[in-house]
Amino acid sequence: MTASAFLSQLLQLGVALLLAPLLAGWVSQCRAWLQNKSAPSLLLPYRTIHKLFIKDAVVAHNASPIFRVAPYIVFGAMCCAAAIVPSLSTGLPFAQAADTIALVGLFALARVFIALAAMDIGTAFGSLGARREMFVGFLAEPALLMVLFTASLISGSTSLPTIVDSLAHRDLAIYPSLAFAGVAFTMVSLAENARIPVDNPATHLELTMIHEAMILEYSARHLALIEWASALKLFNYSCIGIAIFVPFGIAAGSDDWAAILGAAPALAAKLAIGGFVLALIETLSAKMRIFRAPEFLGTAFLLAVLAMLVHLLLGT
């Protein structure tokens, strides 16, 4: 591994870690604007995380070690995921260790541990949230895999940097299969990031929450890590979306530092647009009943399968 590749890897990991709360802040700001509310500060997520880190943690008496380690595992899994999703350049030496299937596995690992931790304390809300989370997760995961497989079929590799390389640096061609995959990916991301048609990130209303119900028992640094991890998850999903559907501007390799730094404004613009679209979707749609979620995610899965079929039929 050359020093430059190592630097590029570190830079992208750092960008993901630092920008993730900003993206979360941007989405909630857009949402407030669209709903005619006075918007919270863009830096609010940073302040929340900072505030939580300096507080004293309270842990329930009957908490097992799983409850204590889960935030670190979740955060670690999200960091690993951030390390293999190309955001600025495809020079990611770490990505050789894990392809897109491992990426889905990392998300699953985080999900399993947060669900275990939620059930650990034994409160009603925790296990309710955990059950719902697994229910949504087991439907969303195959759909995500199918979307990634479609991109892999087009580029002939399951490694995200290779996919970006072959999709971004080619002659301009229209891929109808990616249109299907794009719709499916949007639906999966909404569900996986606890966004409105499936879950509401802003609610503390007992009967409707999924993600919030699981983390009710956490406080201080544990909660800070989990909040940061969910911001990172949103950032990772956005970067996966960018990498597959609008990869233009991502630098190739890790030697051309002008291109890598030049990719930063493009990334910022794409994330800003993506965040706004997310806020728009959240504002325009109503939250579904939990038992409509299988229909929603089933549709996502079928669209992703259709994307593969269309690719096989049209050869594009």
Partner 1 sequence: MAAGIPFYAQLINLFAAVLLLISFAMLAQRRVLSLIDLFAAQGLALALSTAVVGWGTGQSHLYWSAGVTLTLKVFLLPFLLYRLIRRLDVKWDVEPLINIPTTMLVGIVLVVFAFNLAAPISNLSSTVTRSTLGIAIASVMLSFLMMITRRKAIPQVIGFLAMENGLFFAATSATYGMPMVVELGIALDVLVGMLILGVFFFQIREQFDSLDLKHLEQLREDE
Closest to 241 measured CA to CA, from 106, 308, 304, 151: 151
Q: Does 203 bind partner 1 (CB under 8 A)?
A: no
Q: Which parts of 277-306 interact with partner 1 (CB under 8 A)?
A: 294-295, 298-299, 302-303, 305-306
**Taking contact as CB under 8 A, which single stretch among the options 33-41, 82-90, 168-176, 264-272 is the one that binds partner 1?**
168-176
Provide DSSP, 228-287: HHHHHHHHHHHHHHHHHH--TTPBPSSS-HHHHHHHHHHHHHHHHHHHHHHHHHHHHSPP
Contact criterion met (CB below 8 Å) for 198 and 296: yes
Question: What's the token pair of residue 112?
Answer: 């399993």
Site mask, partner 1, residues 261-280, x = CB under 8 A?
--------------------
Least distance from partner 1 to the Cβ atom of residue 176, Å? 3
**Per CB under 8 A, does 150 bind partner 1?**
no
Q: Which helix (H) or strand (E) holds 95?
A: none
Query: 7 near 261, Cβ under 8 Å?
Result: no
Q: Give the three-class secondary structure for 227.
A: helix
Q: Which of 152, 177, 193, 230 binds partner 1 (CB under 8 A)?
A: 177
Q: Which is nearer to partner 1, 34 or 183 (CB)?
A: 183
Residue 249 binding partner 1, by CB under 8 A? no
**Number of Cβ atoms within 10 Å of the Cβ of 2:** 11
Among 3, 56, 171, 258, binds partner 1 (CB under 8 A): 171
63 contacts 96 by C-beta, under 8 angstroms: no
Cβ-based nearer residue to partner 1, 172 or 207: 172
Q: Under the criterion CB under 8 A, does residue 4 sit at the interface with partner 1?
A: no
Binding site for partner 1 (CB under 8 A): 170-171, 173-177, 179-180, 183, 294-295, 298-299, 302-303, 305-306, 309-310, 312-316
